[in-house]
């Protein structure tokens, strides 16, 4: 990483030298005096550490160490800025291995002066993104500490099995060792503990910051900035591990002997005070205002006497009176120009329609009835798709309405379960602490109403509900209830014959048990109903209008491992024999039910 940045800086420095003549020519062509004001910035980022611990020459540049950045940018030309920066943060590293178990934490404070080059001479003048490179000089201060003991001063003993214990693994009392946990309190000052044969070495250093970044120009004054700065320090003491570190602290793995380095990746926002002063030949204080009327700009497209330059209605029809803005006169203030107004002096202009005529009570009532639409012909709720083939991620053929037959507490057996099982399209939806039993699947209220009336004639007390695409059941609103009431009063008695025949359904019984099975194989059974009768739990799957469909489903259940499954029939609220509903049994046929 650091060698890559050095190469980039070297190449860009050559580019900078070649661009100076171009920049000078550009500045001479633009007769503008620029006042270079400072920019103040604040940001946040991460600090990656490259030192002896973990010995990472090419580790991840995005560490979990948080840093904060404050700076002032002072432009000295169009292409160069001087940056006075300060960043601080906390760096922590942990190394756990068979050879060495080390850790440290240190506060980092750094002040720097850097020179930035922003490629202004090489890039278009009007741009929203500006890259830059930077180099400079910095001072860094640190104070590394290590976590060597637990609460109460008990030292950590790292065993080869990966545990930390109260006694050394090689101790004679190792069999009495207790497992302890690190407290992550960095209580031991590495310098004061003399782990490096000295207690007086400096915990500060100089560094060379090298980096690059991008400025995003949000407004003329505000910039969003991303930067990556590598700090080449001149010290090996940031992590407290050097070639002179004592073995008691260092362990069995030697130090790498190289200096420690830091990489700061951050984002920030800065506000600048740059202003462009007018050039001498564009002095707005002494220049006379430009008179458009005196310079021939007096065209009047619609010939209403108001020139196009100040005409707010430049296409007014000819021979109509206009106001000083060139717009047609509206005498009664109803929003309709006189030449379009069929009632120029409306008595109640605030209630005028789009023709300028005051609305009478009869007209208002008619308009309201058109909006209300009590004919039912256009009263269906329509879902429109303005984005493509789907609406909110669901297909346009989505059917909205269901018929709710009954509702019980979850786990509670319905009193009329046999009658419910007679409905071939019965579905149970567990929602919250309730189990809701529904039938049907309809796009419109008109379709749902036909089934609703048929179920009422069969002795049920149903109601229409809505099911959203996520599966949640809810009641209909007042407008939909009004539509259903109108439909119920207008429906022909014979219309119920169009509804699906109620009272006959074929199902597959998987088994009967004295206690509920705990096997997970019942979790994914489609349309599973559990019936409790005389202390016996009967498990039912599927719902079909014909015996043939039920028989096919039984075969699928047998293949899935339910060897004792058989077809049963429910009619008019009672379980009946198959022959009573026209099914001829053949003893050798594996599809025979009971």
User: Tell me: the pLDDT tens digits for 353-397?
Assistant: 888 888 777 777 666 666 655 444 333 434 343 444 444 444 545
Encoding tokens for residue 549?
């469909």
- Could you tell me which of 469, 380, 399 has the C-alpha nearest to residue 439? 399
504-581 is a CATH 2.40.37.20 domain: no
pLDDT (0 to 100) of residue 25: 47
Q: What residue ranges do the domains of the chain occupy?
A: 2-147+184-277, 390-498, 504-581
Asked if residue 173 has pLDDT above 60, the reply is yes
Dist. CA 157–CA 520, nearest whole Å: 47
Tell me whether domains 390-498 and 504-581 share a fold: yes
Q: In 10 A of CB 18, how many CB atoms?
A: 10
Dist. CA 270–CA 41, nearest whole Å: 4
What is the distance between the terminal CA atoms of the chain, rounded to a whole angstrom?
Answer: 78
CA 302 to chain centre: 53
pLDDT (0 to 100) of residue 207: 96
pLDDT (0 to 100) of residue 59: 60
Asked if residue 68 has pLDDT above 90, the reply is yes
Architecture of domain 2-147+184-277: Beta Barrel (2.40)
Dist. CA 494–CA 491, nearest whole Å: 8
pLDDT (0 to 100) of residue 468: 83
Q: What is the pLDDT of residues 20-62, one digit of tens each?
A: 444 444 444 444 444 468 999 999 999 998 888 877 655 666 6
Classified as helix, coil or strand, 11 is helix
Dist. CA 520–CA 194, nearest whole Å: 64
What is the band of 430 on the pLDDT scale with cuts at 50, 70, 90?
confident
- Could you tell me which of 106, 196, 194 has the C-alpha nearest to residue 143? 106
User: Which range scores top for mean pLDDT: 180-189, 244-253, 482-491, 550-559?
Assistant: 180-189
Fold classified for 390-498: Alpha-Beta Plaits (3.30.70)
Dist. CA 260–CA 238, nearest whole Å: 6
Q: Which segment of 168-182, 301-315, 331-345, 511-525 scores lowest on mean pLDDT?
A: 511-525
Dist. CA 405–CA 426, nearest whole Å: 9
Q: Which residues of 322-356 are buried (b: 16+ CB within 10 A; e: fewer)?
A: beeebbbebebebebbeeebebbebeebeebbeeb
Three-state SS string over 12-46 comes to HHHHHHHHHHHHHHHHHHCCCEEECCCEEEEEEEE
Asked if residue 194 has pLDDT above 70, the reply is yes
- Could you tell me which of 525, 512, 514 has the C-alpha nearest to residue 561? 525
Q: In terms of pTM, does the model score above 0.85? A: no
């Amino acid at each position: 990483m650091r060698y890559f940045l050095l190469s980039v800086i070297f190449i860009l420095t050559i580019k900078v030298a070649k661009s100076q003549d171009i920049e000078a020519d550009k500045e001479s062509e633009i007769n503008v005096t620029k006042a270079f004001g400072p920019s103040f910035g604040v940001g946040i980022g991460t600090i990656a550490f490259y030192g002896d611990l973990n010995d990472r020459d090419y580790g991840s540049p995005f560490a979990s160490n948080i840093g904060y950045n404050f700076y002032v940018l002072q432009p000295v030309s169009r292409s160069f800025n001087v940056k006075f920066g300060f960043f601080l943060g906390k760096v922590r590293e942990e190394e756990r291995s068979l050879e060495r178990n080390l850790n440290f934490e240190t506060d980092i404070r750094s002040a720097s002066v850097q020179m930035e080059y922003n490629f202004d001479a090489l890039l278009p003048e009007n741009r929203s993104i500006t890259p830059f490179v930077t180099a400079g000089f910095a001072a860094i201060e640190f104070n590394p500490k290590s976590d060597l003991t637990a609460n109460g001063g008990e030292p950590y003993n790292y065993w080869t099995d990966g545990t930390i214990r109260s006694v050394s693994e090689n101790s004679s009392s190792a069999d009495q060792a207790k497992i302890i946990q690190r407290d992550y309190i960095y209580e031991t000052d590495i310098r004061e503990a003399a782990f490096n044969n000295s207690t007086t070495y400096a915990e500060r250093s100089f560094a060379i910051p090298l980096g690059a970044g991008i400025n995003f120009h949000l407004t003329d004054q505000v910039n969003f900035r991303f930067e990556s700065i590598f700090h080449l320090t001149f010290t090996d003491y940031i992590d407290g591990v050097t070639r002179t570190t004592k073995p008691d602290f260092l362990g069995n793995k030697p130090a790498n002997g190289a200096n420690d380095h830091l990489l700061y990746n951050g984002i920030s926002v800065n506000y600048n005070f740059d202003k462009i002063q007018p050039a001498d030949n564009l002095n707005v204080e002494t220049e006379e205002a430009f008179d458009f009327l005196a310079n021939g700009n007096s065209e009047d497209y619609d010939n209403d006497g108001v020139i196009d330059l100040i005409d707010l209605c430049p296409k007014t029809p000819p021979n109509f009176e206009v106001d000083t803005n060139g717009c047609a006169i509206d005498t009664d203030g109803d929003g309709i120009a006189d030449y379009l107004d069929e009632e120029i002096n409306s008595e109640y202009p605030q209630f005028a329609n789009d023709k300028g005529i005051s609305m009478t009570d009869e007209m208002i009532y008619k308009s309201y009835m058109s909006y209300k639409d009590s004919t039912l012909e256009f009263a269906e709720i329509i879902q429109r798709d303005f984005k493509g083939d789907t609406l909110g991620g669901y297909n346009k053929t989505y059917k909205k309405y269901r018929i709710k037959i009954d509702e019980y507490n979850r786990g509670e057996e319905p009193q009329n379960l046999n009658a419910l099982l007679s409905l071939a399209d019965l579905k149970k939806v567990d929602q919250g602490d309730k189990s809701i039993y529904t039938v049907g699947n309809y796009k419109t209220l008109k379709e749902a109403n036909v089934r609703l009336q048929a179920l009422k004639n069969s002795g049920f007390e149903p109601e229409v509900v809505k099911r959203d695409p996520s599966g949640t059941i809810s009641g209909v609103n007042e407008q939909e209830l009004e539509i259903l009431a109108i439909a119920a009063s207008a429906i022909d008695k014979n219309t119920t014959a169009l509804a699906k025949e109620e009272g006959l359904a074929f199902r597959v019984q998987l088994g009967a048990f004295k206690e509920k099975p705990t096997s997970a194989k019942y979790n994914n059974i489609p349309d599973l109903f559990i019936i409790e009768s005389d202390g016996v739990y009967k498990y039912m799957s599927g719902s079909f209008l014909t015996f043939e469909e039920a028989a096919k489903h039984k075969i699928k259940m047998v293949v899935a491992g339910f060897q004792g499954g058989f077809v049963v029939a429910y009619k008019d609220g009672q379980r009946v024999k198959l022959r009573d509903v026209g099914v001829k049994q053949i003893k050798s046929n594996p599809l025979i039910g009971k």
